[in-house]
Amino acid sequence: MDVSVVGVLALQGGFAAHEHALNELGVATAQVRTPADLERVDALVMPGGESTTMSRLLETSGIFDQLNARLRVGMPVFGTCAGMILLATEVLDGRPDQKSFAAIDITVRRNGYGRQVDSFETDIEVDGLLTSFHAVFIRAPKVVSFAPTVEVLASYDGSPVLAVQGHVMVASFHPELTADIRLHARFLQLISTPSKVTRS
């Protein structure tokens, strides 16, 4: 694998569980809280949390512009739940001051599957996996439209919940909240593709 360190955005949300999953796969990880931290990693996981808070923290930490530049030149990224919202091209029902990276051609609705009280778990079929994946949805965003260039890897109730476009992978749910590390392994396939990792 031609990658040394996978960063996990550690401003807010469930970043520790993502670190654990990646470590289980034998990957070196680093928590990203500053622009200097981001410069030292070759790929990034953006965890779940509260998307408006994360957007604001990306700005105040000075990371937003640098991360945007890294995404534009092909740095692999895996966004889950709030991470998906931040990577989407369009966010419905977001705050007026909320910024996203427009790194994957999808439109999402915040809390599209309901609020915290509506959280649920279900098994989904994922392209390329021999058995189903147990998905945990917590205040999950819902994909309401997507470009033809977006590859849908899994759907729930007719809507994509796992998708990839180029070097960007997103999930509506929280794969880090189970012991199943197959989706993190799938992300590592993006990282190991030649010419995907480019430093700014």
Say how far residue 28 (Cα) sits from the centre of its chain: 18
Render 52-100 in DSSP notation, one character per residue: HHHHHHHHHTT-HHHHHHHHHTT--EEEETHHHHHHEEEEET--TT---
Q: Are strands 88-92 and 104-109 parallel, antiparallel or unpaired?
A: parallel
15: helix, strand or coil: helix
Give yes or no for a contact between 68 and 99, defined as CB atoms under 8 angstroms apart.
no
Residue where the block lists tokens 């993502």: 18
Q: Work out the angle at residue 140's Cα, subtended by the Cα atoms of residues 90 and 45, and round it to the nearest 5 degrees.
A: 75
* Residues forming the active site: 81, 174, 176
